[in-house]
Chain A
């Protein structure tokens, strides 16, 4: 019984080391939730700006006269602020988690993860900038969703495996959105808002709830 127990323990140690050394495992579920909430807030402000609820038309590209130009710039500003807020808050929660797991934020695994997110995202950024220059505004939300989804699928090899499913969801929504461009607010809310929040809650429940309970009992 002793040798069996020891062998099991040893195998578990090996698995744990392999995972810790090759993947960024400190990604917190709370980061997903906070990013989702930022996306919801951003979508709310943007849709208020465009007043699309009033006119029943959310086509960003329909804003063409002078005052509309200002609205366009405001919406872009909201988008940038949303991105910064989402990034900052998710960074914060993951930083806290990395303190708890005792893993450095800036190991080789982090660089590998960020690099693999950056490739599809920057390709997407160029695509979207060009779309805007060509006044193809209806491609912005589907483009964001699709390229972000691809980045997540690509990155899932270097972090929690479940990130892959979040990526599939975003790609799926993005593709449907290509044909229902008038509903971009709804797709934005569903993809960047709700999917993130659901994913975050599930991940927190699966990986962090237990350790939170243990920590509380120890204190």
Chain B
């Protein structure tokens, strides 16, 4: 029997990262402030988790401007989508398999 825990992605092993990924899965793109409010974390905390996900190539960053203010938005990559779906399937299996 395969241990389902192996399929759980370590990258998603945090409330903040899980929040970022869930949000990006259902939104085309989202900016830093909206993410911050949704997940309810500090700037620094959110930034470091975004960096980690970006380094894994799970999300991509778009730096833009609204007038003179910077507006950085984030979107999920194909790879990130695949990894997240695998993570979801693994979670489901764990719930079903351990009755």
Residue numbers in B under 8 Å from A107 (CB-CB): 34, 37
Question: Does B26 contact A14, Cβ atoms closer than 8 Å?
Answer: no
* Given A3-B5, A14-B18, A104-B37: A21 touches B91 (CB 8 Å cut-off): no
Question: Does B22 contact A17, Cβ atoms closer than 8 Å?
Answer: yes
Residue numbers in A under 8 Å from B39 (CB-CB): 17
Give the contacting residue for A21; candidates B30, B40, B92, B95; CB below 8 A: B30
**Chain B facing A: main interface SS:** helix
How large, as a class, is the contact surface on chain A?
A: 10 to 19
- A48: Cβ under 8 A from any B Cβ: no
Which one, A5-13, A36-44, A191-199, A200-208, is touching chain B? A5-13
Question: Does A7 contact B19, Cβ atoms closer than 8 Å?
Answer: no
Q: How many residues of B contact A (CB 8 A)?
A: 21
- B83: Cβ under 8 A from any A Cβ: no
- B38: Cβ under 8 A from any A Cβ: yes
* Given A14-B88, A104-B37: A7 touches B22 (CB 8 Å cut-off): no
Among residues of A, the one whose C-beta sits closest to the C-beta of B8 is A7
Residue numbers in B under 8 Å from A14 (CB-CB): 18, 22, 88
- B15: Cβ under 8 A from any A Cβ: yes
Q: Report the Cα distance A207→B39, complex, angstroms.
A: 22
B82 vs chain A, min Cβ distance (A): 16
Residue numbers in B under 8 Å from A18 (CB-CB): 22-23, 25-26
Question: Does B95 contact A22, Cβ atoms closer than 8 Å?
Answer: no
A207 vs chain B, min Cβ distance (A): 19
Among residues of B, the one whose C-beta sits closest to the C-beta of A2 is B98
- B61: Cβ under 8 A from any A Cβ: no
Interface residues of B in 2-42 (CB under 8 A from A): 5, 15, 18-19, 22-23, 25-27, 30, 34, 37-40
Question: Does B34 contact A108, Cβ atoms closer than 8 Å?
Answer: yes
Q: Report the Cα distance A3→B38, complex, angstroms.
A: 26
Residue numbers in B under 8 Å from A10 (CB-CB): 18, 91
- B46: Cβ under 8 A from any A Cβ: no
Question: Does B19 contact A13, Cβ atoms closer than 8 Å?
Answer: yes
A88 vs chain B, min Cβ distance (A): 26
* Given A21-B38, A22-B26, A107-B37: A8 touches B95 (CB 8 Å cut-off): yes
Question: Does A7 contact B95, Cβ atoms closer than 8 Å?
Answer: yes
Q: Report the Cα distance A108→B34, complex, angstroms.
A: 8
Question: Does A13 contact B22, Cβ atoms closer than 8 Å?
Answer: yes
Residue numbers in A under 8 Å from B88 (CB-CB): 11, 14
Nearest first, the 7 A-B pairs at minimum CB distance are A17-B22, A21-B23, A22-B26, A7-B94, A14-B22, A4-B98, A7-B91
Chain B residues at the A interface, C-beta cutoff of 8 Å: 5, 15, 18-19, 22-23, 25-27, 30, 34, 37-40, 88, 91-92, 94-95, 98
Pull 8 A–B residue pairs with CB atoms less than 8 Å apart, ordered by A: A3-B98, A7-B94, A13-B15, A15-B22, A17-B39, A21-B34, A104-B37, A108-B30
Known: A3-B94, A21-B26, A102-B40. 5 other contacts (CB 8 A): A8-B95, A10-B91, A13-B22, A17-B19, A17-B39
